[in-house]
Structure 1
Amino acid sequence: MTDSQKLKRGTYHLWTFVTSKLISTFGANVYSFTISFYILQLTGSATNFALNLICSILPRTIAAPIAGYIADNYPRKRTVISAQTASAIAILGLLTISLTIGVSLIAIYVTTCLLALASTFSGITFTSSISGLIDEERIQKAMSLNQMSISLASIVAPALGGVLYGMVSIPTFLAIYLFASIIALLLDSTMDFRLFAKRSHERGTDQKKDKLWISMKEGFIYLKAKPIIITIMSIALFTNFFFGSFQVGLSFVLIEKLRIQSQHFGILEAAYAVGMLLLSFYLTVRKEIQKPLITTKYGIIGIAFIIGGIAVPILIPMTYWAMFVYYLVLMLAIGSLLTIVNTPTMVMLQKNIDDDFKGRIFSLLETMAQVLMPLGTVIYGFLYDWIPAEWVLFISAGFIIGFILIMLRPSVISKAYPEQNLVSPQING
């Protein structure tokens, strides 16, 4: 295949990948909203709702290392197709049960577990395959378009889920979800996952493979030799944990402290996704960010200031509408900054992690994030009950700024970009 043919095929992959992810993300978000609403309406129990959430989180945390191992040792296209087929079968199973004996909580919990497992295997494998599907020059565009699909789904999916829940029965909804899953599966089956891949091996089922623990040990040894990747992962995990101060604190401050109206709170939540959507679109049309660590440094500092800024209306009295506009700007800004941090960082990881280790590295990152984010949420929930919200927000913002200034100090950035001979880094947006 000539270079021009590969680039043309890469273009097909780019739009097929985005279309597939958009369908999958919409389906998963609408399913999550609809099933959660159904459980609460059926039982009126927050415990049953929480159990369904656990059925989504726990399997992901347990399965992520296995998914990374499989992504690095088996053909990735086969893994993605197998996982998505399993997802379709799980939906078909719940649909069959709903048509025969009726939907039960046990059936929902089992289906949620199966969908979470399938999503873990397909998600990690897909993430590991992006540099094999699309040429390096367009990885930023691919990641930005993927983020756009996630943001769009987060804005539209709850409204769509509410409409569908009110208009159609659960079996009809499941049939629609099944149809959408099959379309995504068919789209993914047309792609060549090895088009731009640089894997030194791809073992078949008949070839001898390292045991899981040996494979994971190799991943840690590889990671140890990549200090910049360790730095990026450390920053990601640390900020994920402290981002709990924003996730818990925003709702606590707006609802409990400032008594904002529910419809206005919903608009502010949507503004967060709109900010991500707008910046994702911007990153699809601009040139690739050349120094993502510098962008990350100043982006995270900006996020820290916004987290501290959540407390300002508690200390400085504002009119209701001034307060609403203030938080609207904050939400647009934090959504934008998260995108300008996450997308270039993911592009850097895609380009700096060898294809043979991507599955294990990305699975490690996902496992740690799955553990730290709920932990951060629980800890901050406790802190906001016992410590004034403004102190929690200001101290958390200070920790984030201090950590990022240490982790991305000038000497670290100079090692990442030795050809620039950086002494005092400048923002390269």
Structure 2
Amino acid sequence: MTEAQKLKRGTYHLWTFMTSKLISTFGANVYSFAISFYILQLTGSATNFALNLICSILPRTIAAPFAGYVADNFSRKRTIILAQASSVLAIAGLLTVSLMNGLSLTAIYITTCLLSLTSTFSGITFTSSISGLVDENRIQKAMSLNQMSISLASIVAPALGGVLYGAVSIPVFLIIYLIASLVALILDSTMDFQLFAKRSHVPVAGQEKEKLWVSMKEGFAYLKTKPVIQTIIFIALFINFFFGSFQVGYSFVLIEKLGMKSEHFGILEGAFAVGMLLLSFYLTIRKEIKYPLITAKYGTIGLALVIGGIAVPLLVPFSYQAMFVFYLILMLAIGSFLTIINTPIGVMMQKSVDDDFKGRVISILETMAQVLMPLGTVIYGFLYDWVAAEWVLFISAGIIIGIALFMLRPSVIANAYPERKNALQRITG
């Protein structure tokens, strides 16, 4: 295949990948919206809502090391197809149960666990494959387009979910998710995951694989040579724990404390995605961010301020309309901050980690980022049931700011970007 043909094929991958993510995320968000509302309205408890989050987080944390091993030692395309086919079966199973016996919390929790497992294998493998799907010059564009597709789906899905909720049954939401997953599976099967890959060892079917513990040991040894990525992993470990204050508290505060209507709540969920969409579009047209850690530092501080802002209407009287506008602005901001943090860091990892180790390094990052989240989700679930929500949000926001300032202090930034330090020294004389 000539270079021109490869670039043309890479362009096909860009748009197919974007379309696949758009469709599958649309289905997942419609389902997630309906299930979250169902649990909160059925039980009225932040604890039960948090348990469903745990069923999503805990399996992902446990499975991530295995997913990284599989991504580096087996066919990435086959892994993605098998994982997505399994998610289709899980959705079909819950649909069957709901039609025969009606939904129960147990059935929802089991399905959430299964979907979390399948999405872990497909997600880590897909992330490991981006540099194999498109050429190096378009990696930021690919990741930004991917985020744009997720954002577009996240805009439409909650708004549609808010309108449909109460008008149609839960099985209708499941059917939408099932169809979307099937279409995404078909699209993904048409892509060549080795097109631009630079791997010294391409997995061959039937070939003996190295043992899991040996493979993971090599991954950790490789990671020791990447101090910047180590810094990112430790930041993710702590920030994601305290981000549970938003994941549990946002829905609990708006639905239970402030009585937000389902259709308005859906619009706010869409605003979160609009913020992501706007920043993702910006990143597709601008040049690559030169110092991702600096961007991440100030983005994290902004994120923390928004999390604290969620508590303001609990302390200051707002009319319903003013409260809605206030949260609309906050959700636009939080979506923007998450994108300006995650996308440049993701591009940096795609370019700085060798293809042969990408699955393991990404799985280590995912595991460390998620390992404290189940504990955080449980703690915040209980805290919101027993402690004033405003105190939980303000204290958590303050801790996140402290972590960003300490772990990305000037000396750390200088070590990560010595060329920047040298340039500043030349300028200042």
Task: Output the TM-score relative to the length of structure 1.
Answer: 0.84
Task: Tell me, in whole angstroms, the C-alpha distance in 2 between the residues paired with 1:254 and 1:110.
Answer: 27
Task: Tell me, in whole angstroms, the C-alpha distance in 1 between the residues paired with 2:393 and 2:38.
Answer: 35
Q: Which runs of 5+ in 1 are unaligned?
A: none
- Show the counterpart of 1:60: 60
CA contact (8 A) 1:300 1:337 kept: yes
AA of the residue aligned to 2:30: V
How far 1:409 sits from its partner (Å)? Answer: 2.4
CA contact (8 A) 1:57 1:370 kept: yes
How far 1:127 sits from its partner (Å)? Answer: 1.0
Number of aligned residue pairs: give it: 422
Matched, 1:29 2:29: yes
Correspondence 1:200-349 to 2 at 5 A = 200-250=200-250, 259=258, 261-262=260-261, 267-311=267-311, 325-349=325-349
Residue identity (%): 76
- Show the counterpart of 1:197: 197
CA contact (8 A) 2:303 2:334 kept: yes
Q: Which runs of 5+ in 2 are unaligned?
A: none
Q: Give the number of the structure with larger relative contact order, counting CA–CA contacts within 8 Å between residues 6 or more apart.
A: 2
AA of the residue aligned to 1:59: P
Per-residue deviation, residues 375-425 of structure 1 (Å, max 9, x unmatched)? 223334455566665554444333333322222223322332233335769
How far 1:13 sits from its partner (Å)? Answer: 0.3
- Show the counterpart of 2:82: 82
- Show the counterpart of 2:132: 132
| SS class of match (2:372) | helix
Structure 1 pair 72–250 and aligned structure 2 pair: CA distance change class (3 A): same
Task: Tell me, in whole angstroms, the C-alpha distance in 2 between the residues paired with 1:309 and 1:173.
Answer: 32
How far 1:208 sits from its partner (Å)? Answer: 2.1
AA of the residue aligned to 1:282: Y
Correspondence 1:357-368 to 2 at 5 A = 357-368=357-368
How far 1:183 sits from its partner (Å)? Answer: 2.0
Per-residue deviation, residues 151-204 of structure 1 (Å, max 9, x unmatched)? 233332234346666676666665554443232122111111011111121222
Structure 1 pair 265–122 and aligned structure 2 pair: CA distance change class (3 A): closer
Moved more, 371-380 or 31-40: 31-40
- Show the counterpart of 2:120: 120
Task: Tell me, in whole angstroms, the C-alpha distance in 2 between the residues paired with 1:407 and 1:29.
Answer: 33
Per-residue deviation, residues 327-367 of structure 1 (Å, max 9, x unmatched)? 43333222211111111111111111211122122222223
Task: Tell me, in whole angstroms, the C-alpha distance in 2 between the residues paired with 1:319 and 1:98.
Answer: 39
CA contact (8 A) 1:197 1:355 kept: yes
CA contact (8 A) 2:162 2:266 kept: no
- Show the counterpart of 1:370: 370
Structure 1 pair 241–133 and aligned structure 2 pair: CA distance change class (3 A): same
Correspondence 1:351-362 to 2 at 5 A = 351-362=351-362
Task: Tell me, in whole angstroms, the C-alpha distance in 2 between the residues paired with 1:209 and 1:280.
Answer: 38
CA contact (8 A) 1:23 1:180 kept: yes
Moved more, 133-142 or 269-278: 269-278
How far 1:77 sits from its partner (Å)? Answer: 0.8
Moved more, 201-210 or 354-363: 201-210
- Show the counterpart of 1:413: 413
Structure 1 pair 88–398 and aligned structure 2 pair: CA distance change class (3 A): closer
Structure 1 pair 416–31 and aligned structure 2 pair: CA distance change class (3 A): same
Task: Tell me, in whole angstroms, the C-alpha distance in 1 between the residues paired with 2:109 and 2:246.
Answer: 29
How far 1:313 sits from its partner (Å)? Answer: 5.8
Moved more, 312-321 or 138-147: 312-321
Moved more, 48-57 or 414-423: 48-57
Task: Tell me, in whole angstroms, the C-alpha distance in 2 between the residues paired with 1:177 and 1:234.
Answer: 35
Structure 1 pair 239–164 and aligned structure 2 pair: CA distance change class (3 A): same
CA contact (8 A) 1:410 1:424 kept: no
Structure 1 pair 283–220 and aligned structure 2 pair: CA distance change class (3 A): same
Structure 1 pair 402–423 and aligned structure 2 pair: CA distance change class (3 A): farther
AA of the residue aligned to 2:130: I
Structure 1 pair 191–250 and aligned structure 2 pair: CA distance change class (3 A): closer
AA of the residue aligned to 2:21: K
Task: Tell me, in whole angstroms, the C-alpha distance in 2 between the residues paired with 1:107 and 1:242.
Answer: 29
AA of the residue aligned to 2:153: A
Moved more, 200-209 or 111-120: 111-120
After superposition, the CA RMSD in angstroms is: 3.5
Task: Tell me, in whole angstroms, the C-alpha distance in 2 between the residues paired with 1:388 and 1:248.
Answer: 14
- Show the counterpart of 2:145: 145
Structure 1 pair 384–80 and aligned structure 2 pair: CA distance change class (3 A): closer
CA contact (8 A) 2:124 2:359 kept: yes
Task: Tell me, in whole angstroms, the C-alpha distance in 2 between the residues paired with 1:116 and 1:310.
Answer: 28
| SS class of match (1:421) | helix
Task: Tell me, in whole angstroms, the C-alpha distance in 1 between the residues paired with 2:50 and 2:405.
Answer: 37
- Show the counterpart of 1:69: 69
Per-residue deviation, residues 47-96 of structure 1 (Å, max 9, x unmatched)? 98776655444432322221111001011111111222223344445556
Structure 1 pair 97–387 and aligned structure 2 pair: CA distance change class (3 A): closer
Structure 1 pair 93–251 and aligned structure 2 pair: CA distance change class (3 A): closer
CA contact (8 A) 2:161 2:266 kept: no
